[in-house]
């Protein structure tokens, strides 16, 4: 079975060479499913994230005025909170993603969990920070991931602290 580091490296290469037109096609289809889903419609506070160029393009989620959108903010000791998404309250981090200046933590109803690769049973490889694994350990709400088709892998190493994502939206 492939090690997490190996999956991470390969998937970064695939994501960076993903054809833009095909990416837009998949983005539209996956978001059409997600935005009309029961889990999304029934949730009020949605945790999205500020995608890097190769990550899932969730501009349509960030723009949804009918929901309260929150985004991750990293804290020391690999801790993370979610704060209100406000275009006028963003600063650039060292790892290249904008975060809020605000420190007011909001608990989401639903979290869109980022990542690089997912198995069919919902296990995930992310960037290796462990931020989401730590947060999800105490989270009682709904977890989803939005996944381009080639990011689904057959087998994935699973560690004791890994928490599977309940709802995967892909095509």
Ligand X SMILES: Nc1ncnc2c1ncn2[C@@H]1O[C@H](COP(=O)(O)OP(=O)(O)OP(=O)(O)O)[C@@H](O)[C@H]1O
| Cβ contacts of 65 within 8 Å, gap of 6 or more | none
Decide: is 52 part of the binding site for ligand FFO (CB under 6 A): yes
Residue keyed to tokens 């920070």: 129
Number of shown-chain residues binding ligand FFO (CB under 6 A): 17
Contact mark string toward ligand FFO, 13..42, x via CB under 6 A = ------------------------------
Which one of ligand FFO, ligand X, none is in contact with 161 (Cβ closer than 5 to 8 A by kind)?
ligand X
- CA 89 – CA 100 distance, rounded (Å): 5
Between 35 and 153, whose beta carbon lies closer to ligand X?
153
Select from 2, 10, 37, 51 the one that contacts ligand FFO (CB under 6 A): 51
129-141 in b/e form (b: 16+ CB < 10 A) is eebbbbbbeebee
Q: Is 85 annotated as a binding residue?
A: no
Decide: is 95 part of the binding site for ligand X (CB under 6 A): no
Beta-ladder partners of 74: 80
Select from 35, 45, 55, 162 the one that contacts ligand FFO (CB under 6 A): 55
Shortest Å, Cβ 55 to ligand X: 11
CA 89 to chain centre: 21
Residue keyed to tokens 């999304």: 40
Residues belonging to the binding site for ATP are: 4-8, 124-132
């Amino acid at each position: 079975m492939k090690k997490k580091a190996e999956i991470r490296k390969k998937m970064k290469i695939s994501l960076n060479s993903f054809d833009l037109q095909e990416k837009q096609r998949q983005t539209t289809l996956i978001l059409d499913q997600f935005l009309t889903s029961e889990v999304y419609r029934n949730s009020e506070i949605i945790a999205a994230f500020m995608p890097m160029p190769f990550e899932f393009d969730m501009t349509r989620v960030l723009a949804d005025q009918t929901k309260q959108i929150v985004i991750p903010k990293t804290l020391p000791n690999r801790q993370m909170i979610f704060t209100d998404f406000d275009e006028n309250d963003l600063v650039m981090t060292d790892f290249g993603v904008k975060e809020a200046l605000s420190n007011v933590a909001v608990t989401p109803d639903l979290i869109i969990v980022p990542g690089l690769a997912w198995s069919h049973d919902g296990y995930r490889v992310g960037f290796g920070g462990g931020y989401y694994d730590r947060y999800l350990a105490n989270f009682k709400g709904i977890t989803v991931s939005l996944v381009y088709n080639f990011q689904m892998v057959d087998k994935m190493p699973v560690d004791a602290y890994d928490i599977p994502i309940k709802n995967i939206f892909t095509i």
